[in-house]
């Protein structure tokens, strides 16, 4: 079924605590026909083919939700105060704006481009198998947690901005590849919980910028992140570069971790980046500190400068 507005700003209105459910075979397409939900309302679909909203707007109040099972494509789309839930199959967004509300995802494949999420946390509960999820040229701003993803699986985040979060980007038991992203004014910029953080070109990342975060990177029993030759920039000498625990054995007084190819804003003459990183001791003694030593700093580079970008 296809719906097109007879004039701009046409909306389907769902009354308070009302529900609309669409099931079956085929597609559902809206062009310039939005949804207006009036409190505690739900619009839900389970279709075998694509649900598409093109040049549309969703407007909600309290506890309004949209639930889609199956392929979903949002193009030139905006939503305010809507809780979006998507399950199974592919989910594409191009030129989207989401303000208020939240998004929760599971058992699907995400391809998002050129979109903004303002006071709108995004939580992917199950990344799943290859190929990787891709989020590029998007902005996350102001939510308690900007973007969260649980593995196993692989998430690639490219040319995105994360501003003003408690935790900007959280990855659990997954492979997280960051390329050309900017993190500013977050309490914690990146939190890797038993998750591999990749910020070097050969792994699909690099050229990230961290400015004025309380902690740039935090780890919880995570593998050593891949940073070498990534030309990542860590600004503000009063920020914590990295804290937490790395899942590698150590003995003695600690471990030295050679980190080259990075750009720092720390005062000249600092031979080490004070980190607060720890490794576990297999003998059961006190955990060992990890000293991250910058052996070969580089100047700040433009995204992809000096190396061909690695893309999907």
Residue 242 banded pLDDT, cuts 50, 70, 90 = very high
Distance (Å, whole) CA 133 – CA 28: 24
Distance (Å, whole) CA 282 – CA 36: 58
Distance (Å, whole) CA 29 – CA 8: 16
pLDDT at 286 over 80: no
- What are 13's two structure tokens? 């209105």
Rounded mean pLDDT, 224-249: 88
**Residues 244, 216 contacting (CB under 8 angstroms):** no
Domain boundaries, the chain: 1-120, 121-263+278-304
Q: What percent of the chain has pLDDT over 90?
A: 63
The per-residue pLDDT of the chain, averaged, comes to 89
**Which tens digits make up the pLDDT trace of 136-185?**
999 999 999 999 999 999 999 999 999 999 999 999 999 999 999 999 99
pLDDT at 14 over 80: yes
Residue 80 banded pLDDT, cuts 50, 70, 90 = very high
**Which tens digits make up the pLDDT trace of 16-66?**
999 999 888 888 888 888 899 999 999 999 988 889 999 999 999 889 999
How far from 211 is each of 86, 98, 183, 193, 232, CA to CA, in Å?
33, 25, 6, 22, 11
**Residues 114, 138 contacting (CB under 8 angstroms):** yes
Residue 4 banded pLDDT, cuts 50, 70, 90 = low
Please report how many Cα atoms fall inside a 13 Å half-sphere around the Cα of residue 145, on the Cβ side. 14
**Residues 126, 148 contacting (CB under 8 angstroms):** no
Distance (Å, whole) CA 142 – CA 164: 5
pLDDT at 309 over 60: no
DSSP bridge partners of 106: 87
Rounded mean pLDDT, 99-122: 97
Number of other residues whose CB lies within 10 A of the CB of residue 174: 23
For residue 150, the model assigns a pLDDT of 96
């Amino acid at each position: 079924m296809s719906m097109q507005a007879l004039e701009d700003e046409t909306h389907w209105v769902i009354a308070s605590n009302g529900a609309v459910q669409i099931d079956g075979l085929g597609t559902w397409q809206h062009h310039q026909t939005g949804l207006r939900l009036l409190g505690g309302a739900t619009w839900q679909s389970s279709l075998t083919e694509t649900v598409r909203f093109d040049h549309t707007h969703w407007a909600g109040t309290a506890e309004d939700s949209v639930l889609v099972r199956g392929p979903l494509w949002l193009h030139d789309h905006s939503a305010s105060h809507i809780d979006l839930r998507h399950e199974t199959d592919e989910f594409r967004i191009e030129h989207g704006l989401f303000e208020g509300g939240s998004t929760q995802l599971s058992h699907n494949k995400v391809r998002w481009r050129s979109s903004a999420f303002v006071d709108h946390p995004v939580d992917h509960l199950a990344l799943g198998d290859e190929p990787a999820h891709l989020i590029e040229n998007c902005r996350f701003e102001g939510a308690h947690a900007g973007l969260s993803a649980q593995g196993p699986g692989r998430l690639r985040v490219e040319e995105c901005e994360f501003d003003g979060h408690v935790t900007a980007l959280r990855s659990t038991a997954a492979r997280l590849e960051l390329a050309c992203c900017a993190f500013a004014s977050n309490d914690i910029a990146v939190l890797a919980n038993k998750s591999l953080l990749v910020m070097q070109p050969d792994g699909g990342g690099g050229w990230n910028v961290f400015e004025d975060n309380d902690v740039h990177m935090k780890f919880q029993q995570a593998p050593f992140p891949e940073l070498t030759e990534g030309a990542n920039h860590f600004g503000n000498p009063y920020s914590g570069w990295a804290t937490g625990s790395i899942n590698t054995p150590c003995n003695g007084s600690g471990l030295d971790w050679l980190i080259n190819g990075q750009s720092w804003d720390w005062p000249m003459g600092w031979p080490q980046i004070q980190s607060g990183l720890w490794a576990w001791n297999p003998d059961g003694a006190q955990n060992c500190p990890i000293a991250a030593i910058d052996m070969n700093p580089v100047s700040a580079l433009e995204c992809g400068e000096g190396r061909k970008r690695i893309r999907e």
